[in-house]
Amino acid sequence: MPDKVRLAGKCIQDSTVDGPGLRIVIWTQGCCHDCDGCHNPETHDPDGGIAENVENIIGFINNSKLQRGITLSGGEPFLQARQLMPVADAAIKKGMNVWIYSGYTYEQLMEDDVKKALLLKADVLVDGLFVLALKDTRLAFKGSKNQRIIDVKASEKAGKIVLSRYDDFNMFI
């Protein structure tokens, strides 16, 4: 098992904006997309942040009480796909749902065996680059209209992209 994940900071408990319900968010360090208007530019430097033991992150998940899921965000989580697989496995074992935010598209992730292996552990993928010109603050769980909220399990079963029920969810309806 890979022993360290580079994080932008500590795991954050009690988030309600990075997926449904109360969740643990793991902010990864390092991003190759450089989206204009990114709300986490401090996560871009792959040498920044802190190196955290995978076992400590798993312990954090195992000791959680009220959280329904984890969200892997960043930065770009798929740059550390190998390191994050045991983290996703721990959440799944605990009965939590797994959401992942990525600037890569579902299609791009499916073309890389390591990234695909992490992707297929997720329940939901929020994919696509953040596009400042398409920013819409009314959208739940995504920042710009081009991004998709994909039901990964249903997509794998159907052999095509199946959008999550959250994809067109509006914060102010």
The predicted-structure confidence for 32-91, as pLDDT tens digits, reads as follows: 998 999 988 888 999 999 999 999 999 999 999 999 999 999 999 999 999 999 999 999
Residue 88 belongs to a domain with what CATH number?
Answer: 3.20.20.70
Residue 99: domain span:
4-158
Count CA within 13 A, CB hemisphere, residue 74: 33
The DSSP H or E segment spanning 13 is strand 12-15
Residue 116 has what pLDDT?
98
Would residue 167 count as lying in a domain? no
> Does residue 169 fall inside a structural domain?
no
Overall domain count for the chain: 1
- Residue 40: predicted pLDDT: 87
Two tokens at 115? Answer: 């990234």
Contact criterion met (CB below 8 Å) for 149 and 166 = yes
Residue 110 lies in a domain: yes
